[in-house]
Structure 1
Amino acid sequence: MKKAKIYIPSKSAMQSGKGKSNKWLLEFNKSKTENDHLMNWVSSNDTQSQVKLFFSSKEEAIVYAKKNNINFEVIEPKKNKIIIKSYADNFLS
């Protein structure tokens, strides 16, 4: 049976804003890969591991996984704790 994980991907180092950070991703687990020592290529017989499906909500991704008999694990995003400080706080002793 297929296994997948559902999560919100983290932003890349090239992103500074939070645009497109609300999409949920269903990504299949990678299977064992094989190395071709002659050409130095990495290959796999599992094409499912290349599939990435984006959803606008976590519930949509879960419904899709259940409908297609996919075992899944939901990884909840970490909440960033925002500390509001003023510039003058840097000089307090």
Structure 2
Amino acid sequence: MKVRVYKPAKNAMQSGRAATKHWVMEFEPGARKVADQLMGWIGSTDTRDQVRMEFDTLEEAQAFAAKHKLIADIEQPKSRVRRVQAYADNFAFKRVS
């Protein structure tokens, strides 16, 4: 059984990065999602799709996967690019040549 281990990205609606401190393990989809004919709801017969586990460190997630004989696909977090800019730069005169 295959699982995906990753660090979630920062929520665009919040300025804090508190939700990005832990590692998340999710199972790969085992069955495709099907629309219900009557109600139009989307559903699946795979209940593992609802499971989402959180770990404090990557090593804990790897140990859990190894203990339960799961194949872990680990996605390393992307480095954060920070552009330092002064507020005065918004009003700086830029000569057009």
- TM-score interval, smaller chain: 0.7 to 0.9
Distance 1:42 1:71 in 2: 27
RMSD of Structure 2 on Structure 1 (CA): 1.7
Structure 1 residue 87: Cα displacement: 4.0
Q: Secondary structure of 1:20's match?
A: helix
TM-score (norm 1): 0.84
| Correspondences of 1:69-88 after superposition (within 5 Å) | 69-88=69-88
Q: Which moved more, 1:27-36 or 1:67-76?
A: 27-36
- Provide closer, same or farther for how the CA distance between residues 87 and 11 of structure 1 changes in structure 2, counting only shifts above 3 A: closer
How many residues end up aligned between the 2 structures? 92
1:12 alignment counterpart: 11
| Correspondences of 1:1-93 after superposition (within 5 Å) | 2-30=1-29, 31-89=31-89, 91=92
Unpaired runs of at least 5, structure 1: none
Distance 1:7 1:63 in 2: 15
Unpaired runs of at least 5, structure 2: none
Q: Percent identity?
A: 36
TM-score (norm 2): 0.81
Structure 1 residue 40: Cα displacement: 1.1
Residue type matched to 2:58 in 1?
Answer: K
Larger Rg: 2
Q: Secondary structure of 1:77's match?
A: coil
